[in-house]
Structure formats: C-alpha cells, structure tokens
Amino acid sequence: MEQTKRPVAVPVDRPRRLRTTEPMRRLVRETRIHASQLVLPMFVAEGISQPRPISAMPGQVQHTLDSLARAVEESIDAGVGGVMLFGVPENKDAEGTQASDPDGILNRATRFLADRFGDATVVQTDLCLDEFTDHGHCGVLDSRGRVDNDATLRRFNEIALAQAAAGSQLLGMSGMMDGQVASARAALDAAGYFDTAILAYSAKYASALFGPFREAVDSSLKGHRRSYQQDPANRREGLREALLDLAEGADVVMVKPATWYMDVLAEVKQLSRVPVWAYQVSGEYSMIEAAAANGWIERERAIVESVTSIVRAGADTVLTYWATEIARELR
C-alpha cells in the first residue's frame, strides 16, 4: 500500500539567507574592528645595540630606540591608534628609581617618540614599578617584605609627573594599588598636567597568562602578586574596582587579561561612562602563535577571531601585540 508523503515543514525563518556569500556576510556583520581602536604594546630596553628577540613571544622584541621608532612609524602608517611603552632598564633597585628618572629608558623613549610622532599617534606609558624594582613587585616593600600601598602611591605620583613631562599622553596605571587614580590625578593637576589622561587597569587579575611578559621585561619577581592583583574567581570585585576608578576620575578603564575575562569586560562596559579597553596579554598572544606554529590552528583566522571576540564583548579599544599586522589586513 502506497504511503502518503507528508510535506516537509518549511522553516518560517531562514537566517542562512544572510550567510550565502562573503559580500553578504560582510554587509551584515555586527562587530567590526577598526585599526584606530588598536594599541600596540612595545618594549624598549637599555644597553642593547640591536633588537633582542623575546623567545616566549615569537615575533616580538625588546627594541632599541632606533628600532622602536621604525616600528612606531609602521604602526602609524597602518592606522594603529596608539602605542603603549614598557621600559627595560639595565639597573634596578628596591625603589625602582629608574622609573621616575627623566633619563631612565622609559622616559627617554617617551620623549624620543613624543617629539617625532606626538601629533600622529597617542604615545602611552606603563606606569608601574615592576620592570624597575630588583624584587619585581609593582610597589615599594615595607620592612616585612609586603607591598606598602601608600608608600607606593607616592612613587606612582613621582613617576606620573616624570612621564607627563616626557610627553606621555596617557598613563597606564597597572599597579593595582588602592587609590592610585585619585592620587596620580591630584599630582598631575597640581603640576599643571590637566590634559594628561589616566588609563586605569581597573580589573587586572593575577593570571597565569602573564608568563611570557616576565621574559619581555626581564622581570626579577620573587613570589607572587596575588595580594594586589585580583583573584581570577572574582567577577563582582572587578566591577567594584572599575566603579572606584571611575569615581576617582579615570579617563579610561580596562580589563586585563581580555579573553578569559569577557564576562567582566561585558559588565564593566554596561556600567562605564568612559571608554572601556581590554589588554590581550602575552599569554593570549603566545598560545595562538604556538598552536599555529604546530599547525593546529589557522594563524591569521585565529588572530582576527580573537580580537573580534574581545570587541564583541564590549571593548572600545584593544591592546594587542598584533595591532600593526591586523591593521594592515584591515586596510
């Protein structure tokens, strides 16, 4: 007996219509990256005559002043929005005195770039002590070896004034000390640096993803930073830190690392009245580079997808070591 064929149920909605071709997919794309919303982190080292490769971050180097200038010029030509500078000094001490020395490597490099490129890009500086201290912590230690919050604020103020004088347009306060934004803002304003902006590393977690960065800055860290960087398990604490920084006058707030903290990033974006940035840190970079080198993933697709996901989660700007490469691809 012949069975009656039932008609196939016709879908009411056909989302696939908007996925049929690359031009169609491009036309309806919800999240778009622009070169101008990328910032390139860079390392400049004292006492080297040529760029020094960072083995834990394939493709990245510690720059000389000359190679730094060339790389910044390339980033500008590609349309990258700004550069974030980290200094690697030859000599370190307990107070990190090279960080506030006008002739220290970071302030010297800042002045060098600001004089040449200050009208073409946003020259930014990391304001912290970890690269400059012989103990590797982000602050000054007390007699018991603990990070002294308020003594560190005084050092941060001195560094803020030195970096502003060198020409930094935006100070990246990454030390995670309580009250650091309000303290630096007061010091800058008192000295007449009203236009120097503050980027607060608001939700900065004590992450395993910072490992390759330690090589990049020749870190001397002994121990850990869990007494001042946040517990990776805490979401609400990240929001609390962002709210405090907003109340203290931060011009920009940031979540770091980016990829593993997208829930925090999305919630900070919802509550912030200022731009929200995210830092795609060294471990995020190195994992993709390592997997691609082994042929396990498609490198270029993974790079773009990773940054797209950070923007999709709410970042207005992304600090990424691929900034120039991505910007060239977009162009």
pLDDT in tens, 257-314: 999 999 999 999 999 999 999 999 999 999 999 999 999 999 999 999 999 999 999 9
pTM of the model: 0.94
CATH number of 32-330: 3.20.20.70
**pLDDT tens for each residue of 120-166:** 999 999 999 999 999 988 899 999 999 999 999 999 999 999 999 99
Confidence bin at 1 (pLDDT 50/70/90): low
Of 5, 92, 204, 269, the active-site residue reads 204
Q: What is residue 228's predicted lDDT score, i.e. its pLDDT?
A: 83
Q: What does the alpha-carbon distance between residue 81 and residue 117 come to, in Å, rounded to a whole number? A: 12
pLDDT at 10: 82
For the chain, the structural domain boundaries read: 32-330
pLDDT of residue 217: 85
Quote the CA–CA distance of 306 and 297 in Å, as a whole number. 12
CA distances from 318 to 39, 213, 294 (A): 6, 17, 26
281 three-state secondary structure: coil
β-strand partners of 45: 88
Active-site residue identified among 5, 92, 222, 256: 256
256 is catalytic: yes
Question: What is the rounded CA–CA span in Å between residue 180 and residue 155?
Answer: 10
Q: How far apart are CA 329 and CA 35, in angstroms?
A: 9
Q: What is the pLDDT of residues 73-90, one digit of tens each?
A: 999 999 999 999 999 999
| Higher local confidence (pLDDT), 40 or 331 | 40
C-alpha torsion 271→149→97→39, nearest 10:
-10
Task: State how far the Cα of 215 lies from the Cα of 226, in Å rounded to an integer.
Answer: 19
Alpha carbons 284 and 118: distance in angstroms, whole number:
29
CA angle 130, 320, 202 (to 5 degrees): 55
